[in-house]
Each structure stands twice: as structure tokens, then as C-alpha cells.
Amino acid sequence: MSLAIVFPGQGSQTIGMMSQLAQNYPIVKDLYTEASDVLGIDMWQLTQAGPIEELSKTENTQPALLIAGVAAWNIWKSEGGALPDLMAGHSLGEYTALVCSDAISFTDGVTLVRDRGRYMQGAVAEGEGAMAAIIGLTDDEVIRVCAEIAENDVLQAVNFNAPGQVVIAGSAAAIERAAPAMKEAGAKRALALPVSIPAHSSLMSPASEQLAERLNGIEVALPNIPVLHNCNVSFAESADQVKTNLVTQLDSPVRWVESVEKMKNEGVEHFVESGPGRVLGGMIKRIARGATVSTMDNLDTIQELTKTS
């Protein structure tokens, strides 16, 4: 049975995440300590005690989740888990996959995603950007409504997460208009997301330019386990292509449905989510029906998975 390990993006963070695993595997705190030293902030204290408002700042969320995903991957390896055929990640999770596949070093990874978060936050003034989840419309219907009501604002479908689940992003005014328009078009729900960053929209172009400059300063290699990229649903053929894909990803849609379908077409029958939460697992179950979906978010699950992998 072919195996893919996938890594979550922002939204999976919680206060107390990884605490149970840290009690049983010293590598968890070791990695948080290593990251804290290069970031200049106590990441373990932040993830365990909060406050949640501070953890949810994108410049903190991104490294916190990357560390968690890398820690779970290290536990998987220490327990003798099978080597996956593929890796992928949702948005930020793509960086975690690249660290776990040795394309980017751990310390470069945590500082890179911290800076990525800062670039994203700085690209749009506070209160001027927004995102919303649209439930119950097809991808094409969401795209059509966005085009019809955008007027002179940015309004785009940016995360194709699962059938009937699309996230839109753009200016706050356009997102406010979108909710009633999507419902009128037949959406079951249009939920404003608690973020001020219109991630993966064209409003992130200034952040993409900064990220490109930042990536020029770090060493990137081809991954030793193939990593599927969000922006083009393909595998990079060179280290330079890895960098280009990461830059493109920031102001391009996350094509998660296509990515899961691609992995399934590559022969993947078992998906394992590495890190806190079960967000990706729920999406994958709706996309790749018949595939086995598991999560590495607690001691019992990891030990059971590694015995059978």
C-alpha cells in the first residue's frame, strides 16, 4: 500500500498541542528549544500556555506548526514507521514537507516561515483583507460569483479544499459582499474566517517578492522524498524550481483537491496527517473515497500506525 504523509497549514494550532507526545518523546521539546534559540521566542511556552491571540499571529503560527509537523515525523521515524512514497502539505504545510524531506534545513525552515508570516501580514493593511469559507457550491460556481461581484476589488477563490468547500480571499469590502451573494447562489454557508490576511490572493504579490529575495539567501535542495507542490500539482525537477514554486504558492490558489487526486493517481492508498489536528484528514476522506486516512496526533495512534505501516 503506497503511503503519503501530509502536513497541515494554519488553523490547526491549539494551546497545548503536542503536549502528550512531548511527555513520551524528548525530540519534541528538543526541536522547540532549537527553534526558540534561532527565533528569539520561547515557542514551547507559547504553544502550551498561549495566549491564543499571540500563537495565532501568523509569524508565530507558521513556525509553531512547522516544528510540530517535523516533531511528529521524527517520532514516526524513531518508531520504525515506513518511508512514505510521497509528501505534501497544505500551504504552510508544504514547507514542513520540504524540511522533513531534507530539501530545507530545520533552522532555515523555521526562520523562513516566520519571515513568510511577517511578509504576509505586511502586504495588506490591518482590516483591509479578509477570507471566508464557502460551503455547498462547486468550484466553478464560487469562481463565477467572485467575478460577478468583485467590482474594482480583489475577490478570488484561493483554497480548493474539498468538494463543496472553497475558501475565498480579497479585500474586506468584497468579502462582506460575497457572503449574501454566495448564499443567494445556493451556498449552504458562507463563514467569515478569523484572519485579516487574504492569503493566496493576488494581494499577496508584495509578500511574494519579499519571499523570493529571502529564498535567495538560503540553501534549498531537491527533496529526497518527492514533495507535491500546491501551486501546480507537480513535483519540482530542480532546487531552483522548488524556490519558484514556493514563491508562486504565496499568491496563487492552494489546489488541494487536485493534489490529493494526483497522489491517489500516483498509487497512494494510505494518507497520514503529521502534526496537530485532523483538518487535512477530513478533507482527504471527502476527496479520495476508499483511501485509508490516519492522523499522527497522539501517542496511541502513532504507535498503532507504525506497527502496521
Active site residues: 91, 200
Which letter does DSSP use for residue 191 in this model? E
Measure the CA–CA gap between 31 and 65, rounded to whole angstroms: 12
E-strand ranges in 86-140 read 86-89, 129-135
Kindly give the pairing relationship between strand 129-135 and strand 189-192.
antiparallel
Q: What is the DSSP letter of 82?
A: P
Residue pair 89/46 in contact by the 8 Å Cβ criterion: no
Torsion of CA 204, 71, 69, 12, to 10 degrees: -100
Q: Which three cell numbers stand for residue 66?
A: 512547522
β pairing state of 292-296 and 268-274: parallel
**CB distance 76 to 5 below 8 Å:** yes
* Element counts in the chain: helices (H) and strands (E): 14, 9
Task: Answer for the pair 198, 130: CB distance below 8 angstroms, yes or no.
Answer: yes
Q: Is residue 278 a contact partner of residue 297, using CB atoms and an 8 Å limit?
A: yes
Q: Please, which residues have CB within 8 angstroms of residue 6's CB and are 6 or more apart in sequence?
A: 87, 88, 89, 90, 93, 97, 271, 272, 273, 274, 280, 284
Within a 13 Å sphere around the CA of 146, how many CA atoms are in the beta-carbon half? 25
| 27 within 8 A of 290, measured Cβ to Cβ | no
Q: Compute the distance between CA of residue 31 and CA of residue 142 in angstroms, rounded to an integer.
A: 41
